[in-house]
Structure 1
Amino acid sequence: MGDYVTTIKLFGTTDSFTTQIGELAHRALKVFYPLTSKIDTPGQLAKHERRRRVLRRVAENFLPRLKDHILYRLRGLDVSFCDHSFTDAERNSVIIPDNTIYVVQTMQVHYTTYDLRREYDTINPRTHGDVMVLSGEIAPSHPYWYARVLGVFHMEVWLNTGGRPMKWHLEVLWVRWLATLRNYKSGINHARLPKTAFVEESDPDAFGFLDPGQVIRGAHLIPAFASGRGVNSLRYGKSLARPGGELDDWEEHYVGIFVDRDMFIRYTHFGVGHSAMVRKIVWDCSESVPWTNAMDISNDEDADHELVDDGNGFDGYDDEQEDSDEECDDDGESDDSVGNDEGEDDGEDDGEDEFDYVSF
Structure 2
Amino acid sequence: MSNPHPALSFSEQDPLPYLRPEEQYHISPSTKYLLHISSWLGQNADDLATRKFLPKLKDHILARIFGKEYDGDEEAFTRDQRNALHFVNDRIYRHKSIRINYTSYDCHRAQDSLNPHTHVDIMVLVHEDECPNQDGLAPHPYWYACIIHWKHFSISLLKTF
TM bin (shorter chain): 0.5 to 0.7
Q: Corresponding residue for 1:56? A: 45
Q: For the residues of structure 1 that align with 2:56 and 2:160, how far apart are their CA atoms?
A: 22
Using structure 1 for the length normalisation, give the TM-score. 0.28
Larger Rg computed on CA atoms: 1
Q: Corresponding residue for 1:130? A: 121
- Is the Cα–Cα contact under 8 Å of residues 102 and 111 in structure 2 kept in the other structure? yes
CA RMSD of aligned residues (A): 2.6
Q: Which amino acid aligns with 1:138?
A: C
- Is the Cα–Cα contact under 8 Å of residues 131 and 139 in structure 2 kept in the other structure? no
Q: Call closer, same or farther: CA 1:117–1:106 in 2, change over 3 Å.
A: same
Specify every segment of 5 or more residues in structure 2 that has no aligned partner in the other structure, as ranges.
Answer: 1-39, 133-137
1:104 equivalent in alignment to 2:75: no
Q: For the residues of structure 2 that align with 1:101 and 1:131, how far apart are their CA atoms?
A: 23
Q: For the residues of structure 2 that align with 1:53 and 1:115, how far apart are their CA atoms?
A: 47
Q: Provide the identity percentage.
A: 35
- Is the Cα–Cα contact under 8 Å of residues 59 and 74 in structure 2 kept in the other structure? no
Q: For the residues of structure 2 that align with 1:131 and 1:66, how far apart are their CA atoms?
A: 21
What is the Cα deviation at residue 146 of structure 1?
0.6
Using structure 2 for the length normalisation, give the TM-score. 0.59
Please give the per-residue CA displacement for 1:278-317, whole angstroms capped at 9, x wherever unaligned.
Answer: xxxxxxxxxxxxxxxxxxxxxxxxxxxxxxxxxxxxxxxx
1:244-255 to 2 correspondences below 5 Å: none
Q: Corresponding residue for 1:160? A: 158
Q: Which has the higher contact order (CA 8 A, sep 6+)?
A: 2
Q: Call closer, same or farther: CA 1:117–1:108 in 2, change over 3 Å.
A: same
- SS of structure 2 residue aligned to 1:101: strand
Q: For the residues of structure 2 that align with 1:52 and 1:145, how far apart are their CA atoms?
A: 28
What is the Cα deviation at residue 54 of structure 1?
4.7
1:147 equivalent in alignment to 2:140: no
What is the Cα deviation at residue 122 of structure 1?
2.0
Q: Which amino acid aligns with 1:100?
A: R
- Is the Cα–Cα contact under 8 Å of residues 123 and 130 in structure 1 kept in the other structure? no
Q: Call closer, same or farther: CA 1:126–1:114 in 2, change over 3 Å.
A: closer
Please give the per-residue CA displacement for 1:51-103, whole angstroms capped at 9, x wherever unaligned.
Answer: 98651234442211111110110011121132422222111111111211111
Q: Corresponding residue for 2:25? A: none
Q: Which amino acid aligns with 1:97?
A: V
Q: For the residues of structure 2 that align with 1:94 and 1:53, how far apart are their CA atoms?
A: 20
1:78 equivalent in alignment to 2:76: no
Q: For the residues of structure 2 that align with 1:112 and 1:149, how far apart are their CA atoms?
A: 20
Q: Call closer, same or farther: CA 1:85–1:119 in 2, change over 3 Å.
A: same
Q: For the residues of structure 1 that align with 2:41 and 2:126, how far apart are their CA atoms?
A: 36
Q: For the residues of structure 2 that align with 1:57 and 1:66, how far apart are their CA atoms?
A: 18
